[in-house]
Structure 1
Amino acid sequence: MAEDSGQEKTEEPTGKKIEESKKKGQVARSKELGTMFVLIFSAISLLMYGPEIGKGLYNIMGRMLSLNRNETYDTTKMFAVWSSVADALIFPMAMFVFIILFAGIIGNTLLGGFNFSWQAAAPKASKMSPFKGFKRMFGPQAAVELTKAILKFLVVASFAFFLINTFFDEILHLSIESAPNNIIHALEILSWMFLALSCTLVIIAAIDAPYQSHTHHKQLKMTLQEVKDEYKNSEGDPQIKARIRQTQRQMSQKRMMQDVPDADVVVTNPTHYSVALKYDTERAGAPIVLAKGVDELAMQIRKVAGGNDVPIVESPMLTRALYHTAEVGEQIPDQLFTAVAQVLAYVFQLKRFNKGRGKRPTKLNKKLPIPDAYRY
């Protein structure tokens, strides 16, 4: 995508990009580091268990060359001989294989950690494409691999020549040694030479591991547009989210306006704020806010209230206090109950008067008991 858009990958990879690359099996790996670990630990295990393996092989050879007539023609005795001589090799060979296996796991997971991906294991048609294979053979990565191969050959060949010159006299001396000492001695020389040659790969691995880590990190880098697209996909498009919030507000306001006709009173600022209240006498509790709004919405609340004969009472300080401290569908704060009770008492008396069931109520006190903490 970055190549198609012409943008440079200048942004650090996000956590999501790193996790997705791991799921695809794309982690930093150094074949040279894994090879170095396997070879060095193989040489160490050969030094540890080589003498036992050599003695075991010598005993097997001696036993097989000294079979009598009965053991040669009796198959049951033949297998018995094999089992007896093989016991000497089971433990050292098992330890030898275990150390190599352990080294292989550590060496291949030291850079990039342990990661298994079914996507990476699945067959891909692109890997079978001759054209893409040709590009891999003559691409920049192939040039790097060729350079590493030449460097490995020169380093290992040079050190091998040095080791042969160093151990030359000792190697020639093996021909005059008696068995099985010469076999054990040969294995010892071979193990030390093997270890020394394996250690030369430390130079290659020390160069290759940081290079592979840097290359992998560079491949994971993202363009600015990719970062924006990922943010949109994970967090949502800001424009879409804004439209969703607007739709939710409109639906909420619509439901709120539908409840205004059921209000007992609407208190106003009178021009900027409106709050519709309902007191359910059948329920023990404080009055509930059915609707509230400011400016244009406040005018709509008053309009709906006026069209449904809901009393409208002007009380600027109480209206602002209710608007800022009470939510729609919730009870009013206890600290405002006294002030609201006076408003409701006035409204209920006014309704009875209009129905001819009582006397005209006195005007509502403009200085309602509003706590200082609720004055807005």
Structure 2
Amino acid sequence: MSVPPTPSRETPPDLLYSEPEDDLRAAVRALLTDRADLPATLARAEAGDPYDPALWTALTAGIGAAGLLIPEKLGGQGASHREAAVVLEELGRVVTPAPYLTSSVVATETLLGCDTDRADIAALLTALAGGHRVAVLAVPAATAPDAPLPVLPAGAEAVTSADTVTGADTVPGVADAVRADVLLVLREDGLYVVETASPAVTVVPLTPLDLTRPVAAVTLAPGAGTRIAEGPAAEAAVRRGLLAGAGLLASEQLGIAQWCLEESVRHTKERHQFNRPIGSFQALKHRMAQLWLEVVSARAAARAAADALATGAPDAPLAVALAQAYCGPVAVHAAEECVQLHGGTGMTWEHPAHLYLKRAMADRITLGSPGRHRETLAALGDLPGPR
């Protein structure tokens, strides 16, 4: 896919957190401290249902986090991607099983790319803002913003019965589909809203690496749902949602990396060997210092992507590709170091380090792999390709 070089913005990105963003962080962190219990998360994940409905209600209806990207006239907060990025940082710090990225970012941005003056779209956005409904874009979780989209055929009405759907199409690996009330489905003739309660929809859970973000295969009848956009507008809306999701996923990866670094430093200060804290050993100091440098750089990349999306900067695709190319590997490295620096403790199922490692590894290929984003970077930056 040929991508034209992207023009640069006139003003540099603002990488600092504002006072309202710090206040939002404090509110979300306090909520998660009270309600997000890692042992309970692990127990729910092992049972096959990691979501905590009470936590989701508190996060969405309680502090209004679900409506940050939605205009006030539609019941949202009228904030920006910068604030949503702060929420995702905090959710990443505790690997919260919540459909925030998929529903409150990707699906919400996709709907905002459609005609929001339509009553049905406006009503759905209002329901999402209040946390009353969860919407998911029905594409494989690994779909990159600039990748070929998995477009389903238009087709005629499918024949349905109590047990089967004839002539249906299946989308594999849809993240959080098991939690969704509504699916956004891209077909050849447009973008559709499909209720998951419809007999024309079947959601089959798959076995994921990351138990805290379930994936499923979604089977849909060709005639199911209501069309909300068509032609180039439908594809543009989907790509808008994927771009916002990829940009803000970097903030979740940042949150993962920050927790892993802080937990590693805490453990190496408290764990003694030869009557000394193991954190005083020079080899471990060097490893944690290197990790700190990577986390600081990841913060800059993630904040630049969020700021570019918030301001509508012309180089937003470049900032998003840079953030994803860098933050994904940093989160994985931080989680690996956390496991290793905890020694035998880090290898136990009871310690939460494995939850962070699995989320980081799953996030690394979500919305495009680092390699895919590096290719995008090269194209957007007008860099020569491999020889």
* TM bucket, shorter chain: under 0.3
Task: Provide the TM-score with structure 1 as the length reference.
Answer: 0.17
Q: Which has the higher contact order (CA 8 A, sep 6+)?
A: 2
Structure 1 or 2: more strand by fraction:
2
Mark the structure with the bigger radius of gyration.
1
